């Protein structure tokens, strides 16, 4: 719609039989922003990610990425257009080393001289970026939880996405890892990536996001800056109120 949007969700719906997991949802993710999608458990956030990445076909509506509709395309084609993703439950290749997990995601580059060498270098760069260089030859099972999450991010970055979808990147993280995550997300934005994340950790979202959309029972109930969202009575009722009560 607007020139500034890298991703436009238009009247998107995904139903499972009678269950309306996502219903009539529209919003834009501005290019170069950090955009967060929040909502209670089961509100349709991961379903929305699955529709964006082509794992699920939409029941209705469209997804426009970089000006072109991508709904209905196979996942690998969507990835090649520039969308990367991490999973809520970590899905690394446990039989491969840290290095190979990232290397798998390397696409064939236009041949410009020493192709194979630069591919290795790019893997090393991503491992350095995510602080995993020292662990490059370890098997995945020897990494701690935070390292595994960072490896998933490194792997997603290997597909060279312009839009990176992070599904609950802070889940299970301690304070130190969380601080590192905030730093990493900001650094990725500085590198020109647009970040679109699902997150439950409220202070992380409020801290790092430029814009927030809120889902409840599959429908968008609010959208705005962190300040606006925190003040929105519908959000407080659906989500923040309970979250704060528990905190």
How near is the Cβ of 151 to another protein at its closest, in Å? 12
Q: Which is nearer to another protein, 85 or 135 (CB)?
A: 85
Q: Collapse the DSSP code of 146 into the 3-class scheme (helix H, G, I; strand E, B; otherwise coil) and give the result.
A: helix
Residue 109 beta carbon to another protein: minimum distance, rounded to whole angstroms: 11
Helix axes 145-157, 175-190, angle to 10 degrees: 10
Binding residues for another protein (CB under 8 A): 53, 55, 74-77, 79-80, 84-85, 87, 91-96, 100, 103-105, 107-108, 155-156, 158-159
Whether residue 234 contacts residue 221, with contact meaning beta carbons closer than 8 Å, is answered with: yes
Strand order in the sheet with 211-216: 83-85, 163-167, 194-198, 34-38, 211-216, 219-224
CB-nearer residue toward another protein: 74 or 241: 74
Spatial CB neighbours of 19, under 8 Å, sequence gap ≥ 6:
none
Residue 119 Cβ vs another protein, minimum distance, rounded to whole Å: 10
- Paired tokens of 179: 């601080």
Closer residue to another protein in complex, CB, 91/183: 91
Which residue's CB is nearer to another protein, number 75 or number 225? Answer: 75
Question: Could you tell me the smallest distance in angstroms from the CB atom of residue 75 to another protein?
Answer: 4
User: Would you say 84 or 206 has its CB closer to another protein?
Assistant: 84
Nearest to 127 by CA among 102, 110, 146: 102
| Closest distance to another protein from the beta carbon of 141 (Å) | 13
DSSP alpha helices (H): ranges in the chain? 45-52, 75-81, 98-103, 115-129, 145-157, 175-190, 202-208, 226-231, 233-235, 241-246
Q: Which residue number, 104 or 134, has a Cβ lying nearer to another protein?
A: 104
Distance CA 20, CA 43 (A): 10
Task: Classify the phi-psi angles of 82: left when phi > 0, otherwise alpha if psi is within -120 to 50, otherwise beta.
Answer: left
- Closest approach of Cβ 93 to another protein, in Å? 5
């Amino acid at each position: 719609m607007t020139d500034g949007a890298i991703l436009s969700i238009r009247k998107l719906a995904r139903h499972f039989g009678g269950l309306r997991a996502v219903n009539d949802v529209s919003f834009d993710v501005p290019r170069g922003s950090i955009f967060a999608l929040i909502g209670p458990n089961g509100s349709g956030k991961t379903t929305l990610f699955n529709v964006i990445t082509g794992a699920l076909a939409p029941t209705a509506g469209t997804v426009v990425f970089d000006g072109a509709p991508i709904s209905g395309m196979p996942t690998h084609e969507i990835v090649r257009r520039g969308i990367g993703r991490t999973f809520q439950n970590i899905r690394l290749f446990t039989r491969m080393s840290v290095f190979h997990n990232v290397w798998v995601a390397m696409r064939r580059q236009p041949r410009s001289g020493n192709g194979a060498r630069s591919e290795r270098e790019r893997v090393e760069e991503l491992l350095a970026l995510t602080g995993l260089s020292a662990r490059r030859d370890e098997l995945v099972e020897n990494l701690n939880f935070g390292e595994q999450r960072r490896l998933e991010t490194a792997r997603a970055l290997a597909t060279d996405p312009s839009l990176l979808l992070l599904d609950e990147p802070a889940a299970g993280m301690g304070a130190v890892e969380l601080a590192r995550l905030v730093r990493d997300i900001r650094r990725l934005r500085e590198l020109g990536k647009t970040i679109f994340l699902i997150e439950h950790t409220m202070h992380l979202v409020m801290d790092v996001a430029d814009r927030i959309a809120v889902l409840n029972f599959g429908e968008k109930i609010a959208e705005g800056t962190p300040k606006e969202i925190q003040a929105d009575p519908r959000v407080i009722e659906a989500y923040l109120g309970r979250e704060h009560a528990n905190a």
